Chain A
Amino acid sequence: MVDVNQHNLVPEHTVLDDPERVEEVLEEYNVNKTNLPKIKKNDPALRETDAEPGDVVEIVRNSRTAERAVVYRLVVE
């Protein structure tokens, strides 16, 4: 099966394993986990990871306006 992560338009997805990092992110934006944008557990970009619902994924993408844009998403069913 095709690994979409190899495609150059698919940004890098990393699961935040360290609960402290997740805490930091939530604190920085002053939100609950549920207020983060969502990503489905079966999203092709997460196939190679061990993301479970409730995890937070960090996505780093190239941006047209800023060089680099970091986005966090909550993994859902």
Chain B
Amino acid sequence: MSMQTPKELGGLQFGLMDPETYRDMSATKVITADTYDDDGYPIDMGLMDPRLGVIDPGLECRTCGQHSGSCNGHFGHIELAAPVIHVGFTKLIRRLLRATCRECGRLALTEEEQAEFRDRLVRTRELGEDPNDVLKAAVRQARKASRCPYCGAPQHDIKHEKPTTYYEVQDVLSGDYSERIASAMQPDPDDEDDQGTSPQELAEETGIDLARVNEILAGEFRPRKDDRRAIEKALGIDLTEEDMNKLMPSDIRDWFEDIPDSDIETLGIDPERSRPEWMILTVLPVPPVTARPSITLDNGQRSEDDLTHKLVDIIRINQRFMENREAGAPQLIIEDLWELLQYHVTTFIDNEISGTPPARHRSGRPLKTLSQRLKGKEGRFRGSLSGKRVNFSARTVISPDPTLSLNEVGVPDRVAKEMTQTMNVTERNIEEARQYVRNGPESHPGANYVKRPDGRRLKVTEKNCEELAEKVEVGWEVNRHLVDGDIVIFNRQPSLHRMSIMAHEVVVMPYKTFRLNTTVCPPYNADFDGDEMNMHALQNEEARAEARVLMRVQEQILSPRFGENIIGAIQDHISGTYLLTHENPRFSETQALDLLRATSVDELPEPDGRDDGEPYWTGRTIFSLLLPDDLSLEFPSSTGDTVVIEDGQLIEGTIDEDAVGAFGGEIVDTITKVYSETRARIFINEIASLAMRAIMHFGFSLGIDDESIPDEAGEMVDEAIENAYERIEELIETYEAGELESLPGRTVDETLEMKIMQTLGKARDSAGEIAEDHFGDDNPAVIMARSGARGSMLNLTQMAGCVGQQAVRGERINRGYEDRTLSHYRKNDLSAEAHGFVENSYRGGLTPREFFFHAMGGREGLVDTAVRTSKSGYLQRRLINALSELETQYDGTVRDTSGTIVQFEFGEDGTSPVRVSSGDANDIDVDSIADRILEAEFGDEAEKQRFLGEREEPTNLSEHAEPRRVARGQGVQSDD
């Protein structure tokens, strides 16, 4: 086996690296800027030295002896001719320069102050806060010291010119000091009393010898500091100027070398691992060639990596620097070269430093150097490490299949043949495994690869499959196709909640789409207008077991968001159960059996009665066959009646959204909580099938005529609207006469607007009522609205009666032209039609102006949703990132990864929302729980035993367990 044994990471330490360590780990010193010689061989001690690793297959690494692929490469090093600053540490360098003494290197804090900061550091670490804050505070305080508390040397300010230049700012005697003094001694021309100052007076006042004063005035003697101060004071002038003393990297390095370890520790830096002088580079590590491989182009030319180009520059300048220095070149040239070396090393590390022109390729493209490889979305961290592409995944369009269980997913055969599961061949499955191999990679339950115990992988082909099948022995691995009953993970983006990723059991099917039971649309928020979903095949036994027990759809019926079921009947399922139970229709034996044919019920109960001698069964009786035998419930339905279920019999009431719907259907919720997830899955599957049969039995369609109302009703609607117009007319007249009384807290204008809106709102409502009165109870749109299947009475009102007022920003439409909405109206027209009231119905059709106003209102809705989704998506992302590492511990507390407690008890009550009864009145329905317990107590002994013992059904059984067991006995067979 070529695999290395896994090692456990003990810890991870960040720090600076000692230049000696660079040299120690270096495979070779690099001195030549060239890469390959004329024959194409890498040059010794060049940038492609074979000791730095190998990229050409077949060559041997001169350091470790391995070939490309197994050798990870080895670092080399460049000895820099002069120290340069590491751009990554410019801020820290600046801080240290400001906080430490220029003479003795000590941190400019007294022992007591240092002790205080060390204490604070310990506390900060304990609290898990950022030690950087302490460093910043210590630097801030040390910077205030004008003299070193240890050696007394005066401290100067440090100026940092980005990116890598530092100056020491000193006040020194200005060059034109004599002129300044002389001009200050001249009498002020604007002030007649001012006689000026004579040299004698100055000498007297400052106590300086007169001869000295004259020398100073002649510019022959530079006054010392004390004298300078005295003259400044006497004449009220400033004789200094700022002098910027540039600190070369070597100066900084010497400075930092003087800082004692103890002072470093005060700043929270571990001197053992990070000495500050190591931030000034004297040795540059050369990354292995494997990290910067050269590519051979089609024309045989070699193209080098950006890092290699940069290293070439560094070595060239380094060489020139050394040559010039040895030749004794003037200081100016040396400094220029030094700066150039600094530039190249800086851009080698980071080529996107502000204020520094980026190093460019010959083509003008900026080079991608070290930082650019790591940073940003496409960088190593976000692009390669956390955002990897996955194997064993598939994506395609989804479509509905009501014959599947909600736990299942229909997988196209071409997907099943591509994605594999690993079978470990044992004595018990060897025949099965051989059959898969024998079937080959092209016919469905086949195999794509086999792996021998020695680790060799062999591809199964149409040609070798027969032969290979005979060779398969115990201990081999067979990568077989996905077959019915395999567990896979299924996902629809955006993955906003837990139920966006669930485990399904595979059912292999023809054609190209993933097939789903329509009842799983709500948790995925999926529809079939072109939605695509992703599937992931699980690759080990632990993952498959976890997926089956924790992630399977039936385990997700209850939503942790609101504690009720999120999976249940939707749309036509609800219309179907409504039709079946609302008027409790009668069915003959054939009809009843037809309704139930897709369920597990295959025997009808005693008929409910006889019609002309023919037995009949009612819709409610048929529905009751799907209920658990001992279920008793009572709740109001969405239709408006009360549903009564006694001992598994629906006595009265309509089964609609409130009973079986997704998002808290009472019956589904109760079955899931009181019985089991498995029972709930069976119930939902069967309800969906029964409802589909029922809706097909009755027939259910919606046409344009279903929204039309009789002529007399139309006239009534027109009248209602006409009345409203008249009222508005009156309101406007009152307003214009200045007699309209304003509502409290409103202006007259606002009052008028409100009253008009109110009147028009009422007009639409009454139009709706009129329309509603004229629809029959069997109108399909009414059925859908009442049962909660789809749509509302408002939708119906707008289709049949009147669309009503269009609004933008909650007001009537007020925008467009000057003082009017459209040029069709007079200015300042306050009437309903001039401000977007649509009096027509959708069925009747809108006028062009109405249509325009309607589009204005509609556009606002679209913009709102677009803005809302992006805003809430960002909010959600931030919440998830903040909360993702919180975990409920076994002691019930919620903690983050550092062990800090966030909640002392999960949710303050330590209860999972899905384990709590969801009654509206009482949070916990104590009565019914007590009833159930008593019932169990008073049952016969066997029943009591069952109550006391473990009653939970096993959750890890495949729906395909039965057929699979049978198949195993017969060996695997293909369909034909």
Identify the closest chain B residue to A28 (Cβ). Answer: B891
How far is B126's CA from A70's CA once the two chains are assembled, in angstroms? 24
Q: Is the CB of B904 within 8 A of A70?
A: yes
A6 within 8 A of B: no
Identify the closest chain B residue to A30 (Cβ). Answer: B891
Task: Please choose the segment from A14-22, A43-51, A61-69 that sits at the chain B interface, where 4 or more of its residues have CB less than 8 A away.
Answer: A61-69
Contacts of B895 in A (CB 8 A): 35
**Residues in B884-907 with C-beta less than 8 Å from chain A:** 891, 893, 895, 898-902, 904-905, 907
Q: A38-B127, A76-B127 are contacts. A31–B909 as well, Cβ < 8 Å?
A: no
CB distance from A17 to the nearest CB of B (A): 20
Q: Is the CB of B128 within 8 A of A29?
A: no
Q: Is the CB of B909 within 8 A of A37?
A: no
B908 within 8 A of A: yes
**Residues in A1-38 with C-beta less than 8 Å from chain B:** 29-32, 34-38
Pick the contact of A63 from B127, B128, B891, B908 — CB < 8 Å? Answer: B908
Q: Interface 1/0s, chain B 55-71, versus A by CB < 8 A?
A: 00000000000000000
Q: Interface 1/0s, chain B 902-942, versus A by CB < 8 A?
A: 10110111110000000000000000000000000000000
Identify the closest chain B residue to A72 (Cβ). Answer: B904
Contacts of B907 in A (CB 8 A): 65
Q: A34-B127, A34-B128, A76-B127 are contacts. A69–B908 as well, Cβ < 8 Å?
A: yes
Contacts of A35 in B (CB 8 A): 895, 898-901
**Residues in B854-901 with C-beta less than 8 Å from chain A:** 891, 893, 895, 898-901
Interface size for B (C-beta < 8 A) is: 18
Pick the contact of B902 from A37, A72, A76 — CB < 8 Å? Answer: A37
Q: Is the CB of B901 within 8 A of A36?
A: yes
Contacts of B910 in A (CB 8 A): 66
Pick the contact of A29 from B127, B901, B908, B911 — CB < 8 Å? Answer: B901
Q: Is the CB of B911 within 8 A of A65?
A: yes
Contacts of B904 in A (CB 8 A): 29, 69-72
Contacts of A30 in B (CB 8 A): 891
Q: Is the CB of B909 within 8 A of A63?
A: yes
How far is B908's CA from A63's CA once the two chains are assembled, in angstroms? 7
Q: Is the CB of B901 within 8 A of A31?
A: yes
A-B contact count (CB 8 A): 41
Between A29, A35, A66, A69, the greatest number of chain B beta carbons within 10 A of the residue's beta carbon is seen for A35
How far is B174's CA from A75's CA once the two chains are assembled, in angstroms? 55
Q: Is the CB of B909 within 8 A of A29?
A: no
Q: Is the CB of A69 within 8 A of B902?
A: no
Contacts of A69 in B (CB 8 A): 904-905, 908
CB distance from B265 to the nearest CB of A (A): 21
Contacts of B893 in A (CB 8 A): 29
Between B126, B901, B902, B907, the greatest number of chain A beta carbons within 10 A of the residue's beta carbon is seen for B901
CB distance from B906 to the nearest CB of A (A): 10
Identify the closest chain A residue to B893 (Cβ). Answer: A29
How far is B891's CA from A76's CA once the two chains are assembled, in angstroms? 26
Between A65, A71, A76, the greatest number of chain B beta carbons within 10 A of the residue's beta carbon is seen for A65
CB distance from B615 to the nearest CB of A (A): 53
Contacts of B898 in A (CB 8 A): 35
Q: Is the CB of A65 within 8 A of B900?
A: no
Q: A34-B127, A34-B128, A76-B127 are contacts. A66–B909 as well, Cβ < 8 Å?
A: yes
CB distance from B127 to the nearest CB of A (A): 5
Q: Is the CB of B126 within 8 A of A34?
A: yes
Q: A29-B891, A29-B893 are contacts. A37–B900 as well, Cβ < 8 Å?
A: yes
Contacts of A65 in B (CB 8 A): 907-909, 911
CB distance from A63 to the nearest CB of B (A): 4
Contacts of B126 in A (CB 8 A): 32, 34
Between A32, A66, A70, the greatest number of chain B beta carbons within 10 A of the residue's beta carbon is seen for A66
CB distance from B161 to the nearest CB of A (A): 36
Identify the closest chain A residue to B903 (Cβ). Answer: A71
How far is B906's CA from A69's CA once the two chains are assembled, in angstroms? 11
Q: Is the CB of B901 within 8 A of A66?
A: no
CB distance from B392 to the nearest CB of A (A): 40
How far is B736's CA from A39's CA once the two chains are assembled, in angstroms? 62
How far is B915's CA from A65's CA once the two chains are assembled, in angstroms? 13
CB distance from A55 to the nearest CB of B (A): 14
CB distance from A26 to the nearest CB of B (A): 11
Contacts of B905 in A (CB 8 A): 66, 69
Q: A29-B893, A30-B891 are contacts. A37–B901 as well, Cβ < 8 Å?
A: yes
Q: Is the CB of A66 within 8 A of B127?
A: no
Contacts of A34 in B (CB 8 A): 126-128, 900
Identify the closest chain B residue to A25 (Cβ). Answer: B904
Identify the closest chain B residue to A63 (Cβ). Answer: B908
How far is B900's CA from A50's CA once the two chains are assembled, in angstroms? 25
CB distance from B619 to the nearest CB of A (A): 41
How far is B127's CA from A50's CA once the two chains are assembled, in angstroms? 21
How far is B901's CA from A70's CA once the two chains are assembled, in angstroms? 13
How far is B730's CA from A74's CA once the two chains are assembled, in angstroms? 69
**Residues in B723-774 with C-beta less than 8 Å from chain A:** none
Contacts of B899 in A (CB 8 A): 31, 35
Identify the closest chain B residue to A68 (Cβ). Answer: B908
Q: Interface 1/0s, chain B 102-132, versus A by CB < 8 A?
A: 0000000000000000000000001110000
Contacts of A37 in B (CB 8 A): 900-902
CB distance from B785 to the nearest CB of A (A): 34
How far is B907's CA from A76's CA once the two chains are assembled, in angstroms? 25
Identify the closest chain A residue to B907 (Cβ). Answer: A65
Between B891, B899, B908, the greatest number of chain A beta carbons within 10 A of the residue's beta carbon is seen for B908
Identify the closest chain A residue to B910 (Cβ). Answer: A66
Contacts of A76 in B (CB 8 A): 127
How far is B123's CA from A32's CA once the two chains are assembled, in angstroms? 13
How far is B899's CA from A72's CA once the two chains are assembled, in angstroms? 15
How far is B911's CA from A36's CA once the two chains are assembled, in angstroms? 22
Supply 17 further A-B pairs (C-beta < 8 A) apart from A29-B893, A35-B899, A38-B127: A29-B891, A29-B901, A31-B899, A31-B901, A34-B126, A34-B128, A34-B900, A35-B895, A35-B900, A37-B901, A37-B902, A65-B907, A65-B911, A66-B905, A66-B910, A69-B904, A71-B904
Question: Can you list 19 residue pairs at the A/B interface with Cβ under 8 Å?
Answer: A29-B891, A31-B901, A32-B126, A34-B126, A34-B127, A34-B900, A35-B900, A35-B901, A36-B900, A36-B901, A37-B901, A37-B902, A63-B908, A64-B908, A66-B908, A66-B909, A69-B908, A70-B904, A76-B127
Q: Which 8 A-B pairs have the closest CB atoms?
A: A66-B909, A65-B909, A69-B908, A63-B908, A34-B126, A66-B908, A35-B900, A35-B899
- Which B residues contact A (CB, under 8 angstroms)? 126-128, 891, 893, 895, 898-902, 904-905, 907-911
- Which A residues contact B (CB, under 8 angstroms)? 29-32, 34-38, 63-66, 69-72, 76
